[in-house]
Structure 1
């Protein structure tokens, strides 16, 4: 289900906060509410049998420019899926259907996915669904893309973006709990996960790696095209 933030009920807020608190440290009701108020839409994932909230992702849109002209960026805020449902593709399908529908409405303007990652599982969505994204272990970030990443990061986090590191260091950081998706040596055999660990060495303290991918059908991987087809058929 995708809906405006304004349509959330008090019970939704309570369920969302409880889900975040189970997975992240240093959560506070006031900080969570302030972050939520900055967003425009939310994707809610509920279990069919119980209607229990098992995941969500908040979304807002930023306007900027690249070397060709005006662009829009869809920013992913708080995103979480309960560990019992990590194998489900449903949140990714709902997200894909929503953001690509938004991108289609804004054609011919270019639209990007702008996200920050304090956990490797979020970063891992980039190589899974997109052919080209940054930063990437196998290629340096082109200067034009780096300039856009810097522009968007300063726009969204003017006091907290460390451009020389490509990191957002939030004043109210909420790192993942140590037992949630730890970055083991076995996991770092994946070159994308190993790169994430190098690029964001402070991830355990809640540092967020700034990332960018163009939201275009041409930039989708085979898995990304499949995710979008399944999302559209849902």
Structure 2
């Protein structure tokens, strides 16, 4: 697959229509208006296309911005809608391109510490963390440090408002996107994985679209070996038009 990083404002209507159709094929509860509202809250989108047909096979939207926390300036990536068609699951294009995207944007925007706030309603999304990052929270084998917990709660409350439940670490949307049958179930062969077991215990409502809030710091030293191999990926176009972030 090929990957392309573009500012949201540069998306063509055909891109938006294809993204919406891909989401509808894999999630219940998708509406055009809701999709558009979430998209306009982001400033970047990573598109994944089939090399032969150029058909959209996946995408990930994100918001990169700067924040102040306890007197320190930080940069934050908020993940939005992310989906890859099952026909492309064998490809590493999404993680390789996503990590390369963050490295590319970090060089232009993130002068301070860079954090990734991720919400997960599916175990495959949560598994992205232990596969590519050494330290991330929450996790089964380490209690979340107080300073990380405070930052995670602050960012989640600011971005999701009263949809975020501090006591559980869950974001519950009034009209959630729910993975369709065949995608939401945890395969029997993967139920013994401690990370997946933790995700299911920590987010028991994931089948109803509940989202678990997670946080990791994005830097090279925090990557696993698999992540480090993707950090310097040249799969993205270098001639990206960089908008001014607010």
For Structure 1 versus Structure 2, the TM-score category normalised by the shorter chain is over 0.9
Native 8 Å contact 1:124 1:192 kept in 2: yes
What is the rounded CA distance, in whole Å, between the counterparts of 2:146 and 2:170 in structure 1?
Answer: 17
TM-score (normalizing by structure 1): 0.95
Of stretches 205-214 and 172-181 in structure 1, the one that deviates more from structure 2 is 172-181
What is the rounded CA distance, in whole Å, between the counterparts of 1:106 and 1:147 in structure 2?
Answer: 24
1:78 to 81, 99, 105: 81
Query: Structure 2: any 5+ residue segments left out of the alignment?
Result: 237-246
Deviations 1:172-192 (A, max 9, x none): 211111211412443221111
Native 8 Å contact 2:220 2:231 kept in 1: no
What is the rounded CA distance, in whole Å, between the counterparts of 2:226 and 2:120 in structure 1?
Answer: 21
Q: Aligned with 2:161: secondary structure?
A: coil
Q: Aligned with 1:158: secondary structure?
A: helix
What is the rounded CA distance, in whole Å, between the counterparts of 2:130 and 2:71 in structure 1?
Answer: 25
Match of 1:232 in 2: 234
Match of 1:179 in 2: 182
Of stretches 55-64 and 36-45 in structure 1, the one that deviates more from structure 2 is 55-64
Native 8 Å contact 2:184 2:207 kept in 1: no
What is the rounded CA distance, in whole Å, between the counterparts of 1:104 and 1:10 in structure 2?
Answer: 29
TM-score (normalizing by structure 2): 0.90
**CA shift at 1:104, angstroms?**
3.2
Query: Structure 1: any 5+ residue segments left out of the alignment?
Result: none
Native 8 Å contact 1:21 1:27 kept in 2: yes
